[in-house]
Chain A
Amino acid sequence: MRGTIRWARADLRARRGQALLTIGAVAGVVAALVLATMLLEGAVNPWKALFARTHGADMVMYLAHGTDPEALDHLPRIRQVGVPYYTAPATLEQQAVKSPVQLVAMGPRLPQMSTPIVVAGSWLRGGDADGVVVEASFAAAVHAGLDDQIRVQSVDADVVLMKIIGIADTADQGFYPQWTPGLIWVQQAALNRVEPIAAEQEEVVGLRLTSTSPQVEGEVAQNINDTYQSYTGRLVIERFSTAAQVEASMASNDRLVGLLLAVFGIIALVAAPCAIANVTAGRVLMYRQDIAMLKALGFTPGQVIRMLVGTQMLLGIVGACLGVLAARVVTAPAFVRPPAGSAVGLAPLPGWWVTLIAAGVVATVAVATLIPAWWAGRVSPVAAVRVTPPRGHLSRIARLGLLVHLPAPLVLGARDSLNRRLPALLTVFGVAIPLVVITIALSCWSTIDGFKGDPARIGLAATLNVTGPSAAGVHDSDRAQVEAAFPADSFPTLVPGGNGTFTALAIGDSAGSRRYPFHVVQGSMYDSPQQAVAGQGFLDLTGLSVGEWVTVSIEGRNVTVRIVGRVLDPVDNGDVLAFGRDALTKQGIGPQPPQYYSVELRPGVSAAAAKARLSRNGLSVTEVANPADSLGVVRVVIVVSVVVLAVIALANLLTATAIGLRDHRHETGVLAAIGLTPRQVMTTLVVNTTILTLIGVAGGLVAGLVVAPRLINMQGRSSGLGAEIYAGPSALMVAFVVCISVFVATSAAVLLARRTMSGFMRNERWLHEPELATG
């Protein structure tokens, strides 16, 4: 054991660079996985992150005014009782738009439970009675910013002016407007001005429970009512909400993000062991003679295997710890601040989950090392003394090359790269595997870019939905910005057979210029009221395919249409059947004013700017969610993955180059003896590596470009959005990847070859002038 430790220590010291690369690769993989999981959690369920960060309450009880909450402390299953506060409903007036709000009275000190997180400005201040703090998603929805004066109207129509001094996040309610009303924190004095009758103010108290199952929550509510009823003679709970309810209403159903992140997790878990196995195999190849010598000295095969696996696991553990640390640092609140107006944040993963990821990666490293380690255990001790020169012959092509006076270093280098099969395979795969994944990652990036740059491609020709009294004239009133406005109605509809719901979307006309420009990827666009197009989600849900007829029940009437095409539509995960509004009119549904107008903007017009301008005209405007917005988190994972994979590829390349150079050490003298200049010998070494890199890069790119469309379209299909979402990386990007790879490979080869050559020159002098060394 001591001998093993001594050798492992010396080995790590001698190969510091390689060890650091392995640590870096493992750290990167662990960090990427932890990050991907956190982002996945954050993207799919942003509320949960917020709940953890704000120390949210498990139950929020709305009690009758004046209820003394002290009795709650002694009730079973209640872990902690928050400080009670008062609240009253009101209305926020912004020109013609009125939004319902809930005013919550708090003091200048932030509460310990359900602590609002101030994302802009400051919290309530003692000396500033009119200063209020607005909940972030509500502030974003109503375009309220810091220092804005707001008019709050009480139930009795009295108007109170207030000033926004802060924007904050909370988990006590979901994001506006899904979970109305808007939330405004005010001081008690301000609340009293809006709602002077104390009895009309609700008393709110947050509870943390020992368990959050619905049974326990029900039991707690019952206990509270029973307890208070016994000495007040009345029911005190007016209503209550639970964290689970809010969470359920907030859980995003974005399957595409989940799928993409899951794919990256799997890819990282597959690529990392391949790369680590490759590096270890390279080490065994490179230090075969040393391993043989260890065996000649008395190391058993088992000891050699344990030593290699142990060393790699040690590096793996260090890497995993660093990876966890790195993930912690980059996701620390100091680094990741949710943008103003957005409540999306990152919740720390539970410790056991992080441990599982780290342990999984270390175990994968151990398994990946086993094969090369077993191989090292089988190295014959005779290899220490009997060096078998690499075999091979000068092929016909090589002879021809020399005959037509191709530069000798080029021919010899090319021959070498293909003659040593095992190192050649290690090099090619070592470069190709990371390149496949990098290509997939870049394809994901370009696909997301496609969503963003050309929303019409994924069925989002209209970027705004407008409602309001003057919505019908939105096109005529703002032709500079608005390309077209399509009247639309959407109906949550039961699937025929009743095993789910989908959205029946009646939009524009079924033909002519007012037909909505869907992106049809299969079949054709509808051109009569009897025809419709459907999203992949709808087709999966109903088991129907393009060309079939379907009858759906809208507003109690049957509408029968023929599905003539499949469109890309990210709304409701593709559970959409769309047709012209005249299909409804034909069935006697309507005519009636449309629920909303889908507004297509002119090219180059920013949705946010258009939204602001239209809002000022008294319209209620919402932006249509682009999947690219939530896929932004995938970009972070893509960048981390590409960096990690580039490090892995570099590690493989350096190992491969070093193996090549070691094999050539014996030949360097021979090449020099037959008349090659030192520079030509060096070129031979460099050509060898460059050719293998080129093969690896080309193989990786081709495989990546073949796999990526299938993988991404498969994800599109399973997410309901639909296949054909893939947009490949540009030729420029591919060329850039090739150039960078070849440049890095060649530079590494040149550096190592120069070192080998200078070592060789020193040795030569030493061999011929022994007195230099001995004297």
Chain B
Amino acid sequence: MNDPVLRTRGLAKVYRADGVAAEAIRGVDIEVGAGEFVAIMGPSGSGKSTLLHVLGGLEPATRGEIWLRGQRVERLSTAAWAILRRRHVGFVFQSFNLLSNMTVADNVELPALLAGASPKQARKRREELLGELGLTAKAHAAPSRLSGGEQQRVALARALANEPSLLLADEPTGNLDSIGARDVLRLLQRTHDNGQAILLVSHDARVASRADRVIHLFDGMVADDAPVIRAPRPVRDVVGDVLELRG
């Protein structure tokens, strides 16, 4: 594997409410290589989303280490995390979370502007991204005027605006119909092909099957971490091949 873009050691997150502690993730060790596409699966309450939030610095870790691009980051301040996110980490959420008061174009340009790009550069990047995603015509529309699939594509464009080395996607197809989901997965695949690492959380095995590797979480711990082995295209003419089993 290449140098990992993300690595954790003994990562844990404990929530405390009314004096009761609940461990959402317990000693997770994972690695995501540069340009690798990793899916995290697991039942509801297994800690998938919490893990993603902690890895992106949306929530502080309780214990353990997080290494991002070779830098230890779990003890960074809120502001330092924010700066790290705007440069190296893209986020895509299940419920799109587009900024309601901004147009599609503004939503996509905002991260670039935030990272210090000039308005001209930000506009150029936005035009490229929306062009790739087939949303040029909707650039000046309000997010609420878009369908779910379109909103998620805009959210993806926003996450990719600064060409982050790591894209964190939390159930990106969870709220979409099959057509919308297919479009989004295609885009994720294209991002992966561009050499950006993706860490994706999903319930859906079909979505996870697109990844290079699938990590299974159970009760906040890694239960399984295995690469996805894709079967070679079956030879249609040979009946016996249908019954071939692989280990």
* Number of residues of chain B lying within 8 A (CB) of chain A: 43
CB-based nearest A residue for B91: A296
B102 near A300 (CB under 8 angstroms)?
A: no
Contacts of A732 in B (CB 8 A): none
B110 to chain A, nearest CB (A): 5
User: Does any Cβ of B come within 8 Å of A764's Cβ?
Assistant: no
User: Does any Cβ of A come within 8 Å of B177's Cβ?
Assistant: yes
User: Does any Cβ of B come within 8 Å of A13's Cβ?
Assistant: yes
B177 to chain A, nearest CB (A): 5
Contacts of A297 in B (CB 8 A): 85-86, 91, 110-111, 114, 158
B58 near A13 (CB under 8 angstroms)?
A: no
CB-based nearest B residue for A775: B147
A463 to B79, CA, bound (A): 72
- Known A297-B85, A382-B58, A385-B97; contact A3-B149, beta-carbon cutoff 8 A: no
User: Does any Cβ of A come within 8 Å of B100's Cβ?
Assistant: yes
B164 to chain A, nearest CB (A): 10
User: Does any Cβ of A come within 8 Å of B53's Cβ?
Assistant: yes
A14 to B102, CA, bound (A): 8
- Known A6-B106, A300-B79; contact A15-B180, beta-carbon cutoff 8 A: no
- Known A293-B97, A296-B58, A300-B79; contact A774-B109, beta-carbon cutoff 8 A: no
Contacts of B91 in A (CB 8 A): 296-297
User: Does any Cβ of A come within 8 Å of B2's Cβ?
Assistant: no
Given A10-B102, A774-B149, 17 more A-B residue pairs with CB atoms under 8 Å apart are: A2-B119, A3-B111, A10-B103, A10-B106, A287-B101, A290-B101, A294-B99, A297-B86, A297-B110, A300-B78, A300-B82, A382-B53, A382-B58, A384-B58, A385-B58, A385-B97, A774-B177
Contacts of B177 in A (CB 8 A): 770, 774
B114 near A381 (CB under 8 angstroms)?
A: no
Contacts of A675 in B (CB 8 A): none
Contacts of B109 in A (CB 8 A): 6
Interface positions, chain A 725-775, Cβ under 8 Å from B, are 770, 773-774
B111 near A298 (CB under 8 angstroms)?
A: yes
Contacts of A14 in B (CB 8 A): 100-102
Interface positions, chain B 138-173, Cβ under 8 Å from A, are 147-149, 158, 170
B58 near A290 (CB under 8 angstroms)?
A: no
A298 near B58 (CB under 8 angstroms)?
A: no
Interface positions, chain A 249-308, Cβ under 8 Å from B, are 287, 289-290, 293-303
Contacts of B86 in A (CB 8 A): 297-298
Partner of A15, one of B101, B102, B103: B101
B99 near A770 (CB under 8 angstroms)?
A: no
A3 near B114 (CB under 8 angstroms)?
A: yes
B53 to chain A, nearest CB (A): 6
A296 near B85 (CB under 8 angstroms)?
A: yes
What 0/1 readout, one digit per residue, does chain A (1-43) give for beta carbons within 8 Å of chain B? 0111011001101110000000000000000000000000000
Partner of A385, one of B83, B87, B95, B180: B95
User: Does any Cβ of A come within 8 Å of B179's Cβ?
Assistant: yes
A770 near B148 (CB under 8 angstroms)?
A: yes
User: Does any Cβ of A come within 8 Å of B115's Cβ?
Assistant: yes
- Known A6-B109, A382-B59, A774-B147; contact A298-B100, beta-carbon cutoff 8 A: no
A385 near B100 (CB under 8 angstroms)?
A: no
Partner of A300, one of B53, B59, B83, B113: B83
B99 near A7 (CB under 8 angstroms)?
A: yes
Closest 10 CB pairs of A and B: A298-B86, A14-B101, A3-B114, A300-B79, A3-B113, A2-B113, A773-B147, A10-B102, A300-B82, A381-B58
